[in-house]
């Protein structure tokens, strides 16, 4: 028998995060969003709630949960705001998780307690101005100076989340460190602490959405870090980060479902209270059917990420399911955001309304952590095509 009912612990987590999102995030996030300001106070409170430690063992300061718990929290946050949700998602799946998965004991002891408590954030430096979906096109280079036992890094990264906050502790970057026997680039992951000489965080982007999250271009000019800052195995950086991206797509899917469901929540509430021609607009079948389709999309996408997350935490292959969940959730988010804006009419076009923000936030879900086209490539290749 297949049962999609969540256990008591996950239900309790869902309730607590939902309460936090509605009572704490919702009243203030619009102001942060309009000012393009990073919500340090909200991040601090999420840290105190233990959200940044959800999928990590207690020995590293975590909550002893798993990716399913993280996904539940992300969905509830994104029902209200995606900037806060992606700060948590990137802080865990792209920031702390590479250290946990591939770090040495010394690296874990140095960084994980700060990251799992929310005291500090870490970022994932993969994308470059000329290398997005094609990560093998990486141009950033790192050379090992054997005389000083240091990596010397030169290059740049683009669109990096959580990379320039006052509490950003490090960025893990992928760099070309040589050539493989087959002639391809040898890619290696290296930890670069914030404040390292030559490491410059460029001014924040002016973004269409996620306006209360932190995103920067990064430049590296003869940046020197100890050889011990190698993360994982030399030459395995690409493979390591493919695994990290697969996991991250499950979390990203949960975020997309949250946005899609948030559009439903706002549309139902508005359709009940907005009157036209002497009755609530929700009494009109055209609106009813539109919202019914929105709910169907959110529900279907939720089942997809539940499946992917279940496979992940149970040690089963989940790569195809992660791609399906990410594709389904981003499609649902985009379509629901458009329809929610239509339900709200002129009010939906105003940035200060939740659906106005959701409409702006939805598009990046078809791009970040692997475009929708990349997800279709993964799915079709897994079918032998």
Distance of CA 221 to the CA centre of its chain: 28
Q: DSSP assignment, residue 272?
A: H
**Angle (CA) 243 121 33, round 5°:** 105
- Give the position of tokens 């960084």: 111
Annotated catalytic residue, options 128, 150, 339, 369 = 369
Q: Is 152 helix (H, G, I), strand (E, B) or coil?
A: strand
Residue 88 lies in a domain: yes
Domain boundary among 173, 207, 235: 235
Q: Are residues 254 and 377 in the same domain?
A: yes
Residue 192 is part of a domain; what is its CATH number?
2.40.110.10
Both 61 and 113 in one domain: the answer is yes
Domain presence at residue 3: no
Quick one: 212 and 275 in the same domain? no
The CATH number that applies at residue 108 is: 1.10.540.10
For tokens 């879900």, name the residue.
365
Percent of the chain with pLDDT over 70: 99
Co-location of 75 and 176 in the same domain? no
Residue-wise pLDDT for 260-289, tens only, equals 999 999 999 999 999 999 999 999 999 999
250: left (phi over 0), alpha (psi -120 to 50) or beta: alpha
Residue with tokens 């006052």: 166
CA-based nearest residue to 252, from 376, 131, 370, 116: 370
On whether both 129 and 199 belong to a single domain, the answer is: yes
Least-confidence region, from 76-80, 124-128, 253-257? 124-128
CA–CA distance, 184 with 193 (Å, rounded to integer): 28
pLDDT at 351 over 90: no
Phi and psi, residue 12, nearest 5°: -65, -40
Q: Does the residue 371 lie in any domain? A: yes
Kindly state the DSSP code that residue 323 receives in the 8-state scheme: H
Q: Is 290 exposed, middle or buried (0-12, 13-18, 19+ CB in 10 A)?
A: middle
Per-residue pLDDT, averaged over 145-151, amounts to 97
Residues 252 and 336 occupy one common structural domain: yes
Q: What is the average pLDDT across 170-197?
A: 95
Asked if 259 contacts 78 with a C-beta cutoff of 8 angstroms, the reply is: yes
Say if 1 falls within a structural domain.
Answer: no
Distance between CA atoms of 307 and 149, rounded to whole angstroms? 45
8 flagged as catalytic: no
pLDDT exceeds cutoff 90 at 238: no
Choose among 365, 85, 126: nearest CA to 253: 365
Does 36 share its domain with 68? yes
Residue 358 is predicted with a pLDDT of: 97
Judgement on whether residues 283 and 343 belong to the same structural domain of the protein? yes
- Grade residue 171 by pLDDT with cuts at 50, 70 and 90: very high
- 255/328 same-domain check: yes
Reported as a pLDDT band with limits 50, 70 and 90, residue 111 is: very high
Q: Which of 209, 235, 261 is the last residue of a domain?
A: 235
302: part of which helix (H) or strand (E)?
helix 285-313
- Does residue 175 fall inside a structural domain? yes
* Structural domain for 349, as ranges: 239-382
Spatial distance between the Cα atoms of 385 and 376, rounded to a whole number of angstroms? 11
- What pLDDT score was predicted for residue 216? 98
11 phi/psi in degrees, rounded to 5: -65, -40
- Same domain for 231 and 137, yes or no, is yes
Would you say residue 2 has pLDDT above 70? no
Query: Looking at the 3D structure of the chain, how many domains does it have?
Result: 3
377 and 281 fall within a common domain: yes
Distance of CA 240 to the CA centre of its chain: 17
Average pLDDT for 188-216? 97
218-236 mean pLDDT: 97
pLDDT single digits (tens) 368-383: 999 999 999 999 999 9
Q: Indicate the residue among 86, 121, 156 that finishes a domain.
A: 121
Confidence of residue 170 (pLDDT cuts 50, 70, 90): very high
Q: Are strands 185-193 and 121-125 parallel, antiparallel or unpaired?
A: unpaired
Q: Are 73 and 93 within one domain?
A: yes
Inform me whether the pLDDT recorded for 3 exceeds 90: no
Instruction: Label residue 150 by pLDDT band (50, 70, 90).
Output: very high
Q: Tens of pLDDT along 41-81?
A: 999 999 999 999 999 999 999 999 999 999 999 999 999 99
The CB density around residue 183, as the number of other CB atoms within 10 Å, is: 6
Are 226 and 265 in contact by the 8 Å Cβ rule? The answer is no
- CA 198 – CA 270 distance, rounded (Å): 51
> Average pLDDT of the chain?
95
Report residue 242's pLDDT band, with 50, 70 and 90 as the boundaries.
confident
pLDDT of residue 4: 74
Q: Report the Cα–Cα distance between both ends of the chain, in Å, rounded.
A: 32
The answer as to whether 2 is a domain residue is no
| CATH number of the domain enclosing 373 | 1.20.140.10
Residue 212 pLDDT class (50, 70, 90 cuts): very high
- Residue 348 contacts residue 342 (beta carbons within 8 Å): yes
Question: β-strand 215-226 against 150-161: which pairing, if any?
Answer: antiparallel
pLDDT tens by residue, 293-345: 999 999 999 999 999 999 999 999 999 999 999 999 999 999 999 999 999 99
Q: pLDDT value at position 1?
A: 52
Question: Angle at which helices 67-78 and 8-20 pack, to 10 degrees?
Answer: 30
Residues 60-79: b if buried by 16+ CB within 10 A, e if exposed: bbbbebbbbbbbbbbbbbbb
| Residue 269 confidence (pLDDT) | 97
Section 3-10 average pLDDT:
84
76 domain-assigned: yes
Residue 128 is assigned to a structural domain of this protein: yes
Strand pairing class (168-179; 185-193): antiparallel
Asked if 289 and 307 touch (Cβ cutoff 8 Å), the reply is: no
Q: What is the DSSP string of 127-177?
A: -BTTBSS-GGG---EEEEETTTTEEEEEEEEEEEETSSSTTEEEEEEEEEE
């Amino acid at each position: 028998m297949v049962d999609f009912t969540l256990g008591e612990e996950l239900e309790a987590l869902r309730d607590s995060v939902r309460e936090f999102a509605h009572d704490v995030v919702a009243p203030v996030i619009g102001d942060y969003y309009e000012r393009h300001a990073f919500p340090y106070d909200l991040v601090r409170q999420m840290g105190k709630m233990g959200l940044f430690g959800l999928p990590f063992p207690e020995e590293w300061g975590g909550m002893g949960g798993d990716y399913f718990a993280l996904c539940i929290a992300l969905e509830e946050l994104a029902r209200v705001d995606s900037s806060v949700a992606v700060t948590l998602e990137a802080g865990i799946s792209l920031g702390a998780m590479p250290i946990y998965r591939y770090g040495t004991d010394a690296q874990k002891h140095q960084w994980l307690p700060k990251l799992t408590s929310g005291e500090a954030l870490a970022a994932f430096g993969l994308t470059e101005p000329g290398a997005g979906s094609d990560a093998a096109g990486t141009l950033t280079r790192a050379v090992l100076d054997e005389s000083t036992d240091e990596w010397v890094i030169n290059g740049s990264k683009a669109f990096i989340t959580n990379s320039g906050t006052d509490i950003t502790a490090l960025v893990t970057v992928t760099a070309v460190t040589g050539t493989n026997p087959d002639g391809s680039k040898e890619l290696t992951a290296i930890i670069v602490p914030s404040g390292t000489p030559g490491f410059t965080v460029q001014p924040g982007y002016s973004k269409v959405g996620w306006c209360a999250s932190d995103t920067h271009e990064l430049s590296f000019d003869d940046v020197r870090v100890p050889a011990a800052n190698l993360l994982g195995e030399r030459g395995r950086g690409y493979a390591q980060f493919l695994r990290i991206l697969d996991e991250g797509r499950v979390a990203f899917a949960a975020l997309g479902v949250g946005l899609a469901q948030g559009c439903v929540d706002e549309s139902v509430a508005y359709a009940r209270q907005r009157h036209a021609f002497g009755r609530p607009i929700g009494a009109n079948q055209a609106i009813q059917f539109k919202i019914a389709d929105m709910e169907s999309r959110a529900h279907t996408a939720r089942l997809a990420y539940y499946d992917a997350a279940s496979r992940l935490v149970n040690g089963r292959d989940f790569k195809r399911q992660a791609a399906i969940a990410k594709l389904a959730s981003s499609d649902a988010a985009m379509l629901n955001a458009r329809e929610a804006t239509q339900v709200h009419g002129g009010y939906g076009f105003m940035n200060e309304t939740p659906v106005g923000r959701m409409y702006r936030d939805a598009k990046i879900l078809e791009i970040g952590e692997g475009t929708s086209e990349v997800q279709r490539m993964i799915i079709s290749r897994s079918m032998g095509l």
